[in-house]
A = this chain, B = another copy of it.
Amino acid sequence: MEPTDVQHSECLSILRPVRDALDVLNGKWKLPIIVALTFGEKRFGEIAKEVHGITDRMLSKELRDLEVNGLVKRTIHDTYPVKVTYELTPHSKSLGEVIESLRKWGTLHRKNIMQHS
């Protein structure tokens, strides 16, 4: 193997965690839902109101996705009538850096595109 081959296969192995991260954030609704939960726990209906345009079906599905990925905690309160709330987990807070990094590059990229068109 040549040196570039070694470097190349290293790059490829780096891609797996990168893909993992992208998959967690992917889709139209994940980030808006996370934003909605940023300022404290909320009920299903409250999130639905804040995330404009989302259908109940999608909200239900995406919340389950986020729960499986350990970003959101679902709590069923033992009251009458039953109350269900969702909140961000500590793990989800660690996303802050990634989002900031994406935001910075996205802003830079937008400027770049503007200039060259």
Contacts and interface: CB of A to CB of B under 8 A. Distances in A.
Q: SS class of chain A's interface: helix, strand, loop or mixed?
A: helix
Contacts of A19: 31, 106
Interface of A: 4, 7-8, 11-12, 14-22, 24-26, 31-32, 35-36, 38-39, 50, 69-70, 91, 94-95, 97-99, 101-110, 112-113, 116
A35 B19 CA distance: 13
A97 B103 contact: no
B103 A17 contact: yes
Contacts of A12: 32, 35
B105 A97 contact: yes
A103 B12 CA distance: 12
